[in-house]
Amino acid sequence: MANVVFKVGDDVSTDIIYPGRFMATVLPTETPQYAFIDYPEFNAKIKKNEFPKGSIIVAGKNFGCGSSREQAASCLKGPDFVVIARNFSRIFLQNAINLGLKMVICPTIDANEGDELEITADQVVNKTSGKSFPLIPMPKARQVIIDAGGLIPFTRKLVIEAKGKR
């Protein structure tokens, strides 16, 4: 279980998540400092590492729309956020999978900042409100990449396994 630390609405673009003015910073270890920087209170807490790993951001529809900048996913992966959204934009979703960002597609999610959520295999349970919301599981091929920590660690694992079978 984890708490919702930030709630946003529909059509949150990559420019809101990671503004273009910081595109010169691309290292995943440095991008989190610019996550949601135009929300100074939330950003300050990110910079101070105030959120436990697995803290939840709840979003509406089309989270991550806009540009294809991968920093929008890496800046959320650094603090180890889980993003629960009604749905994700296609490019953001693939970038996030490739980087191993934990995401949950939950078309009817209803939660507020401070709510305690539990994510199971088939639903998100809002322990604060007592309501449950069905989720759409990631396809297995995508989930194994996320679980491995991203595409590079997943590929590394496959290469090591293949070498061991020779």
Say how many residues make up the chain: 166
Q: What is the pLDDT of residue 45?
A: 97
Can you read off the two tokens belonging to residue 9? Answer: 């609405």
pTM for this model (two decimals): 0.94
Residue 29 lies in a domain: yes
Residue 129 structural domain? 2-137
Q: What is the pLDDT of residue 25?
A: 80
Is residue 165 over pLDDT 80?
no
Residue 35 lies in a domain: yes
Residue 159 lies in a domain: no
Residue 149 lies in a domain: no
Contact 38, 16 (CB under 8 A): yes
Residue with tokens 């991203």: 150
Mean pLDDT, residues 3-27 taken together:
94
Query: Could you tell me the CATH number of the domain that includes residue 132?
Result: 3.20.19.10
Residue 25 lies in a domain: yes
| Among the ranges given (27-31, 38-42, 94-98, 99-103), the one the predictor scored with the smallest mean pLDDT | 27-31
Residue 163 lies in a domain: no
Q: What is the pLDDT of residue 10?
A: 98
Give the bridge partners for 117, in sequence order: 2, 126
Mean pLDDT, residues 26-40 taken together:
92
Three-state SS for 111?
A: coil
Residue 6 lies in a domain: yes
Report residue 28's pLDDT band, with 50, 70 and 90 as the boundaries.
confident
Report residue 26's pLDDT band, with 50, 70 and 90 as the boundaries.
confident
Amino acid at 111: A
| DSSP, res 21 | G
Q: What is the pLDDT of residue 114?
A: 98
Q: At what angle do helices 151-164 and 140-148 cross, to 10 degrees?
A: 90
Q: How many domains does the chain have?
A: 1
124-163 pLDDT, tens per residue? 999 999 999 999 999 999 999 999 999 999 999 999 988 8
Q: Which helix (H) or strand (E) holds 37?
A: none
36-92 pLDDT, tens per residue? 999 999 999 999 999 999 999 999 999 999 999 999 999 999 999 999 999 999 999
Per DSSP bridges, beta strands 2-7 and 82-85 are: unpaired
